[in-house]
């Protein structure tokens, strides 16, 4: 049953505002006509209370620590699916049937290699260029090599969506491995006709004279890591992809914008910041007390990295899965990483600390992901690139929702202007 509208009283005017209810019972007041009817806009700095779209991709209940993709709980996907299947689910809305899964994998394998001319773009980068700057530049360059897939016309770009989506997921992964090789001064390794995660490990760690010997536990851990990052509702980078996409910008360009948004330390960059924090605790021989004390100051530059979340006010369900997997992977690989102990101690201490408890600050997905990546041989400066590889299906699905919405409009928030009121220009000699 449709709930009765809300009533907003402004001065003497009663404004009736429709209520929208989502499929999980989330309620919103529809203010789309508010400005036209009253001259007022909604002020919501940082959009924390703004529903910017209707979306059928991911359901997130931050109060209860729930995350579901297309209805499927994240813990079930983590236990039974792998990254490519979950990517299909996120992009297409259904778990793939065998033939669909086969075709999706085939499209990815056929489009995994990076064009030779693009190899030359690498040479323009300094060896120590930030990997996310390289990744976003290289993804920005993809339309130049595939103009037929990047027409900046929704209808045409949607006609080629199956190819573009598979190509982008595949190529972002290949570019990630190439960035690693380039920075190490190693020759690029071409993709092979093998599964997605194995292919990534091959492109990272094979040598021209010797193929990387796969380790099933490593492949499984990598699949889990990517799967857990595959989508996360209207976060900073995904909202960026939607905003850029709403201008009818093609999928590659929109995702490149998302990569830039992800690079910030409060978003995707947090995984590397967590490792730096754990390493410095280790180097100082501290038990983390100093970091916790500094984090209590409330200053943004002293935050306990890997803790807190803009939406979760309870455990991040991904952090629970990844924390457990982290211990298992390290045990299976026979690795004793002192940073794991430090992270566990830090978590225990923070969860008993009044500052963190009262603010409902729990570990997020980034708290343990770095330790797994380190165990897989991935250097810290590539962590956010790994996040980007994982998040690509989510960005693609969100772009598709924008591009295929017949009632879609360009994203264009308003503002409250607080600058100087109108004043006359002053000639230079009178200033």
Residues of this chain that interact with ligand CMC (CB under 6 A) are 232, 235, 266-268, 270, 295, 298, 303-310, 359, 361, 364-366
Structure letter (DSSP) for residue 234 = S
Shortest separation between residue 387's beta carbon and ligand CMC, angstroms: 8
Shortest separation between residue 305's beta carbon and ligand CMC, angstroms: 5
Rg of the Cα trace of the chain?
A: 23
Residue 361 or 378 having the CB closest to ligand CMC? 361
Q: Which residue is closest to ligand CMC by CB? A: 308
DSSP 237-292: HHHHHHHHHTTT--HHHHHHHHHHHHTSTTTTTHHHHHHHHHHHHHHHT--SHHHH
Which residues are designated catalytic? 309, 366
Give, in degrees to the nearest 5, the angle at Cα 365 between 364 and 368: 100
Residue 85 or 231 having the CB closest to ligand CMC? 231
Q: CA–CA separation, 251 vs 68, rounded Å?
A: 24
Question: Under a CB-based contact definition with an 8 Å cutoff, are residues 94 and 70 in contact?
Answer: yes
Shortest separation between residue 253's beta carbon and ligand CMC, angstroms: 22
Question: Under a CB-based contact definition with an 8 Å cutoff, are residues 191 and 199 in contact?
Answer: yes
Whose CA is closest to 250, among 174, 139, 172? 139
In degrees rounded to 5, what are phi and psi of residue 107? -60, -40
Shortest separation between residue 354's beta carbon and ligand CMC, angstroms: 12
Residue 322 or 403 having the CB closest to ligand CMC? 322
Shortest separation between residue 234's beta carbon and ligand CMC, angstroms: 11
Question: Under a CB-based contact definition with an 8 Å cutoff, are residues 77 and 227 in contact?
Answer: yes
Residue 51 or 214 having the CB closest to ligand CMC? 51
Residue 77 or 149 having the CB closest to ligand CMC? 77
Q: CA–CA separation, 92 vs 148, rounded Å?
A: 22
DSSP 74-143: HHHHHHH--HHHHHHHHHHSSPPPHHHHHHHHHHHHHT-SPPHHHHHHHHTS-TT--HHHHHHHHHHHHH
Shortest separation between residue 229's beta carbon and ligand CMC, angstroms: 9
Residue 196 or 383 having the CB closest to ligand CMC? 383
């Amino acid at each position: 049953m449709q709930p009765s509208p809300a009533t907003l009283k402004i001065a003497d005017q009663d404004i009736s505002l429709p209520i929208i209810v989502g499929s999980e019972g989330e309620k919103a007041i529809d203010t789309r006509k508010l400005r036209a009817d009253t001259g007022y806009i909604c002020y919501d700095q940082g959009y924390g209370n703004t529903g910017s779209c209707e979306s059928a991709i991911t359901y997130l209940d931050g109060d209860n620590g729930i995350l579901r993709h297309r209805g499927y709980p994240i813990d079930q996907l983590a236990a039974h699916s792998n990254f490519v299947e979950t990517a299909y689910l996120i992009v297409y809305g259904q778990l793939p049937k065998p033939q669909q899964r086969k075709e999706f994998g085939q499209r990815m394998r056929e489009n995994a290699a990076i064009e030779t001319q693009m190899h030359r773009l690498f040479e323009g980068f300094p060896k120590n260029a930030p990997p996310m700057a390289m990744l976003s530049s290289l993804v920005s360059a993809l339309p130049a090599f595939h103009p037929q897939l990047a027409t900046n016309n929704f209808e045409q770009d949607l006609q080629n969506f199956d190819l573009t989506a598979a190509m982008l997921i595949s190529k972002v992964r290949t570019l990630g491995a190439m960035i690693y090789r380039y920075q190490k001064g190693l020759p690029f390794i071409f993709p092979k006709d093998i599964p997605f995660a194995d292919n990534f490990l091959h492109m990272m760690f094979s040598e021209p004279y010797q193929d990387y010997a796969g380790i099933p536990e490593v492949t499984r851990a990598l699949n889990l890591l990517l799967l857990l990052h595959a989508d996360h509702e209207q976060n900073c980078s995904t909202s960026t992809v939607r905003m850029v996409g709403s201008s009818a910008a093609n999928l590659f360009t929109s995702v490149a914008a998302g990569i830039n948004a992800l690079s910030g330390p409060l978003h995707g960059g947090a995984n590397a910041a967590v490792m730096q924090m754990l390493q410095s605790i280790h180097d100082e021989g501290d038990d983390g007390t100093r970091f916790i004390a500094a984090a209590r100051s409330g200053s943004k530059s002293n935050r306990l990295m890997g803790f807190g979340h803009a939406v979760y006010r309870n455990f991040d369900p991904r952090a629970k899965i990844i924390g457990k997997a982290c211990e298992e992977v390290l045990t299976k690989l026979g690795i004793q990483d002192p940073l794991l102990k430090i992270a566990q101690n830090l978590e225990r201490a923070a969860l008993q600390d009044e500052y963190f408890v009262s603010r409902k600050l729990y570990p997020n997905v980034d708290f343990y992901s770095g330790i797994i990546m380190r165990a897989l041989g991935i250097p810290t400066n590539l962590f956010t690139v790994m996040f980007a590889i994982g998040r690509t299906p989510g960005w693609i699905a969100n772009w598709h929702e924008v591009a295929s919405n017949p009632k879609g409009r360009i994203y264009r928030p308003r503002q409250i202007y607080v600058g100087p009121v109108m004043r006359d220009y002053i000639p230079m000699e009178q200033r």
